[in-house]
């Protein structure tokens, strides 16, 4: 069980998700403090989680071992710059969940030589079924590495990457990925309705099929290609459907989509780091 004191700057949905996961994992509420400028939001967090709440990040620095930067990317520069003068003599671990902000920029805004873990969680983290990619800079110790992983594991699975630019691939795959699956479910439902199935049945069957397929893949020792072949009988309905998808270059479309998302992540990182 974690003994460190954990501070959040920003009390929005992702912070709430992490707080809920940490408390469910046995972290005592008094170990957690959130800096949130919105008074109503502070009151909600205090009432819901029985944690400590403060108005500004300045109050966190002297009393926390970990600071989680859970603010919008557009304001992280201002937040980090405001803290930089107070970091002399105290070096907490910084964990950023701000999409698209590179470690070198966070480090520069904090004054340099800070231990920083950059993460890319996705929206299912809000219901503790997330997938998060993590990257640590050279200042992060082995103990801090394990600490960051323990915190993010509270809302799902974690995967470390060795190079920071791989976070852009994580963004394209799992960060944006839930929307891809929502689109596929949406289109399957629409197609079933066009073929004559009612809306309620189409929706339920599409959702349960997606859930069941994912659960099978997670629990099986076979990879998805083998599982697909196992349910694709020669000359059957599944083979016909898969063939049409591949004839229409679904594989190339997925490649282009993920490449485009990765490239856009890199563009945004450069813009936000200025």
Q: Could you tell me the pLDDT band of residue 187, with boundaries at 50, 70 and 90?
A: very high
Report which listed range, 81-85, 126-130, 259-263, is most confident.
Answer: 259-263
pTM of the shown model: 0.90
Mean predicted confidence (pLDDT) in 85-112: 89
In a domain, 197, yes or no: yes
pLDDT at 57: 81
Domain boundary, last residue among 111, 140, 167: 167
pLDDT at 1: 67
Domain boundary, last residue among 167, 187, 222: 167
Q: Could you tell me the pLDDT band of residue 145, with boundaries at 50, 70 and 90?
A: very high
Q: Spell out a b/e string for 153-170, using b for 16 or more CB atoms within 10 Å of the CB, else e.
A: ebbbebeebeeeebbbbb
pLDDT at 17: 92
Q: State the DSSP string of 49-89.
A: H--EEESSGGGTTTT-SEEEE-S-GGGHHHHHHHHHTT-TT
Domain boundary, last residue among 146, 167, 188: 167
Whether the predicted pLDDT of 121 surpasses 70: yes
71 and 205 in a single domain? The answer is no
Question: pLDDT by residue (tens digit) across 24-58?
Answer: 989 999 999 999 999 999 999 999 999 999 988 87
CA separation for the pair 207, 224 (Å, rounded): 19
Q: Could you tell me the pLDDT band of residue 59, with boundaries at 50, 70 and 90?
A: confident
- For the ranges 83-97, 152-166, 250-264, the lowest mean pLDDT is seen at 83-97
74 and 146 in a single domain? The answer is yes
Whether the predicted pLDDT of 104 surpasses 70: yes
CA separation for the pair 244, 256 (Å, rounded): 19
100 and 61 in a single domain? The answer is yes
25 and 143 in a single domain? The answer is yes
Structural domain boundaries, residue 10: 6-167
Whether the predicted pLDDT of 229 surpasses 90: yes
Q: Beta strands of the chain (E only): which ranges?
A: 6-9, 32-35, 52-54, 66-69, 93-96, 116-120, 130-136, 156-160
> Is the separation of the CB atoms in 79 and 71 below 8 Å?
yes
140 and 233 in a single domain? The answer is no
Report in angstroms the alpha-carbon separations of 247 from 60, 69, 243, 260. 57, 45, 6, 22
Question: pLDDT by residue (tens digit) across 81-97?
Answer: 988 878 876 789 999 99
């Amino acid at each position: 069980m974690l003994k460190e004191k954990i501070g959040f700057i920003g009390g929005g949905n992702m912070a709430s998700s992490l707080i809920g996961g940490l408390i469910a994992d046995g972290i005592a509420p008094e170990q957690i403090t959130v800096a949130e400028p919105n008074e109503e939001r502070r009151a909600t967090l205090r009432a819901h989680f029985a944690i400590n709440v403060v108005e500004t990040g300045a109050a966190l620095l002297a009393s926390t071992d970990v600071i989680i930067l859970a603010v919008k990317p557009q304001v992280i520069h201002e937040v980090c710059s405001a803290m930089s003068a107070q970091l002399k003599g105290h070096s907490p671990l910084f964990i950023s969940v701000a999409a698209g902000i590179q470690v070198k920029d966070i480090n520069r805004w904090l004054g340099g030589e800070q231990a920083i873990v950059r993460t890319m969680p996705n929206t299912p983290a809000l219901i503790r079924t997330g997938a998060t990619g993590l990257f640590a800079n050279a200042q992060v110790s082995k103990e801090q590495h394990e600490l960051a992983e323990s915190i993010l594991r509270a809302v799902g699975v974690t995967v470390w990457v060795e190079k920071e630019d791989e976070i852009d691939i994580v963004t394209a795959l799992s960060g944006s990925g839930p929307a891809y699956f929502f689109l596929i479910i949406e289109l399957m439902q629409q197609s079933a309705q066009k073929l004559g199935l009612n809306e309620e049945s189409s929706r339920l069957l599409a959702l349960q099929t997606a859930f069941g397929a994912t659960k099978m893949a997670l629990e099986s020792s076979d990879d998805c290609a083998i599982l697909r072949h196992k349910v694709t009988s020669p000359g059957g309905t599944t083979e016909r459907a898969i063939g049409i998808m591949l004839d229409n270059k679904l594989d190339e479309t997925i490649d282009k989509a993920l490449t485009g998302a990765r490239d856009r992540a890199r563009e945004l990182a450069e813009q936000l780091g200025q």
